Amino acid sequence: MIGKRTFCFLVLGVVFLLGCQGKKSGDQEVKSAEEPVEAAPSDEPNELLSVEDYIARHYPEYAILKAIPSNLLPDIEEESLVVLEDPITAAKFDPPTYSIDKVLCVYVADGRTQEHVLVGAGSIGYREEALRLILSYESLYGPWLDYCYLPDIDGDGIQEAVTFGLSGFFFRMRTWKFQDGEFQLIDDEDLTAAY
């Protein structure tokens, strides 16, 4: 059993490491979020045929946890919500666990690409207690897709992304909507007390 002091230092260390990772990638996330809504011809070579190819080329340091077919972007119905982890960060946990380090909406088709980042949608792995609370929302949002829900909350024919962020200090449910050329946080509910 570890003491309270050791546990506090461990939690602070994890928060510091995750904060440094977020700071390092912040510039790239802002740039990605400003891409135009309309998919434009890409400079990508024609052999880039899949979301997996796109991630391997642009995010080689990350592993895909899941690529979920979605309808999150207006006027495009073939995009994927891609959940990425940094395997090096995940291996630092004892025992090793997955962590959601980036969530992207990626469109790749006919030589065109488009990418948008859901800034702040990361999480450490969901423990049993957290997953039990997450699954209680299935009646509202439909099936749990291992990392998110993709309901059409406002009934406009375009899905929203409902993600859950878990850290050593909080547990939050966040709802994302693509509007004004980027994914915006439209609801942020604190579930810490219920967890």
Domain ranges within the chain, ordered by starting residue: 23-190
Work out the angle at residue 189's Cα, subtended by the Cα atoms of residues 12 and 17, and round it to the nearest 5 degrees.
Answer: 20
Token output for 6: 């050791």
**Exposure of 141 in the CB half-sphere (CA atoms within 13 A):** 20
- Residue 87: pLDDT band (50, 70, 90) is confident
Q: Report the run of H or E that residue 52 belongs to, with start and end.
A: helix 51-58
Q: 96: pLDDT confidence band, cut at 50, 70 and 90?
A: low
pTM score of the predicted model: 0.73
The residue written with tokens 């050329």 in the block is: 181
Q: Encoding tokens for residue 127?
A: 């423990």
Tens-digit pLDDT profile for residues 48-85: 579 999 999 999 999 999 999 999 999 887 899 999 99
Q: Tell me how far CA of residue 184 lies from CA of 33, 34, 38, 121, 130, in angstroms.
A: 10, 12, 17, 11, 24
DSSP H or E segment with residue 187: strand 182-190
One-character DSSP codes across 133-182: HHHTTHHHH-S--SS-B---TTSSSS--EEEEEE-SS-EEEEEEEEETTE
User: What CA–CA distance (Å, rounded) separates 66 from 84?
Assistant: 7
State both tokens at 142.
Answer: 């439909």
